[in-house]
Structure 1
Amino acid sequence: MQTLHVLCRNATNEDVDSLYQLINGYAEKGIMLPRSREALLRSIDTFVIAEIEGKFVGCGALTKLGDDLVEIRSLGMSEGYKGYGIGGLIVEQLISNAKNQGISKIMALTYAVSFFVKNGFEVVDKEIFPEKVWTDCMNCPKRHACDEIAVLKKLQ
């Protein structure tokens, strides 16, 4: 596998179109919830972008669910960039951002359980996150038949 020089950085307003295309591409496959450009602009400061030679190749975001809990959301890669460790770099940056905010727990709902386990998360019962259930799950089309797996990492 070739060595890629990946830059992970906080997103800016100029990244909205790339975020919109990637996230809504996943949403069309039922993997992520869709996001409008306006919603992305409102939450742009929660996103981390991965770039290779200035080209957008992936993203992830942190959403605060409580005083000591954040969720990783919208974690995805552009076609052709999976398997290079870019997702792990994005998660590392998101964990660093969470630690800088004084957060002690980071969770995700995912289909990619092995990816998160490899990155230090453990599988948990999603019912331990009432903050998530009451903020987002109520509006999700899969709320009565959610097939995502909850993962959690406690931060030191």
Structure 2
Amino acid sequence: MQATCRKATIDDVDILHDLIQGYAQQGIMLPRSREVLARQIDTFVVAELGDDVVGCGSLTRLGIDLVEIRSLGITDGYKGCGIGSKLVDCLIEQAKEQHIPKIMALTYAVGFFERNGFTVVDKEIFPEKVWKDCIHCPKQHACDEIAVLKMLN
């Protein structure tokens, strides 16, 4: 069975929350409250296998020419099945539709993003990200995430 991607709806909030919390508890994703997810639901996409949501991701605008992939996660048992790449492709298409030429992420999964056409870059080239989010992060002075960037045509 092939996973499909669609825009998330308000009915997906609890599933998104549970998926993101699982990653947040491991210290590899920032937690998001149900309220924040409901407010930002239009930025999320989900991957489905049949009737089950098995992954999610969101796209956040950081500037006029830059968006960030956030909250990219796959349900345990479905990792390694191409679902993450399908979600990234969906988010890249959204960025292209918005005529945004650069898409970035902060990640521990560098190999995954490199396989999807991203390049490792110095995170200091993203002052938009630093001032918008990093100032609120508990790891701000010892960030161990790697920045990746893809230029879109």
Identity of aligned residues (%): 68
Please, which of 132, 147, 152 is the counterpart of residue 150 of structure 1?
147
**CA-based RMSD:** 0.4
CA distance in 2, matches of 1:154, 1:42: 28
- AA at the equivalent of 2:150: K
Q: Which residues of 2 match residues 8-23 of structure 1 at below 5 A? A: 8-23=5-20
For 2:11 and 2:130, how far apart are their aligned partners in 1?
32
TM-score by length of 1: 0.97
* Corresponding position of 1:109: 106
Specify which of 25, 30, 45 is matched with residue 28 of structure 1.
25
What CA distance in whole angstroms lies between the structure 2 residues aligned with 1:24 and 1:42? 17
State the distance in 2 between where 1:102 and 1:92 align.
15
Residues 1:42 and 2:39 are matched in the alignment: yes
- Structure 1 distance, partners of 2:89, 2:29, is 21
- Relative to the length of structure 2, the TM-score reads 0.99
1:88 counterpart residue number: 85
Following TM superposition, the consecutive aligned residue runs of length 4 or more in structure 1 with deviations greater than 4 angstroms are none
2:143 match: secondary structure? coil
Structure 2: segments with no counterpart, 5+ residues: none
2:123 alignment counterpart: 126
What residue in structure 2 maps to residue 56 of structure 1? 53
2:67 counterpart of 1:70: yes
Q: How many residues align?
A: 153
Q: CA deviation at 1:99?
A: 0.4
For 2:114, what is the secondary structure of its paired residue?
helix
In 2, Cα distance between equivalents of 1:104 and 1:42: 25
